[in-house]
Amino acid sequence: MYIDHIYDQAMNNLNWLKVDIDLPEGDFVKQILVGGKKLCLVKHQKELFVVQNHCPHAGGVLSGGWCKDGYLVCPVHRWQYNLHTGRGAEGQGDYIEMYPVEMRSDGIYVGFEKSWIEKLLGR
């Protein structure tokens, strides 16, 4: 199928980096460092999400926030971001960057888009 081809191509354009973390039990919101970048790892209702760690509103630290009804809530002014789409709640007009995340047998991996030179060289 064409959709499968597009999906495979998108996944092949990622560098997958392992997250060095012992997973806590249950749901959590936690800062992680992966590939030299601070990100926010969220487990909410048995699903994992990785998103940017700074709030686009005024730079609050999203990993200090919490989840509510499928949204990540910033602890500073309580703006909310949909964990599946990254879109801000109605009226905010903003979004957060989402990263592909995979749970593998040896841990959690986060996908980062390859640089243009890596794509050019087929790495």
Using CB under 6 A as the binding criterion, the count of chain residues that bind ligand FES stands at 9
Long-range contacts of the stretch 16-25 (C-beta < 8 A, 24+) = 16/102, 16/109, 16/110, 16/111, 16/112, 17/109, 17/110, 17/112, 18/106, 18/107, 18/108, 18/109, 19/107, 19/108, 19/109, 19/110, 21/107, 21/108, 23/108
Task: Verify binding: residue 94, ligand FES, rule CB under 6 A.
Answer: no
- Nearer to ligand FES by Cβ, of 44 and 65: the residue is 65
Among 77, 103, 107, 119, binds ligand FES (CB under 6 A): 77
Q: Name which of residues 14 to 73 contact ligand FES (CB under 6 A).
A: 55, 57-60
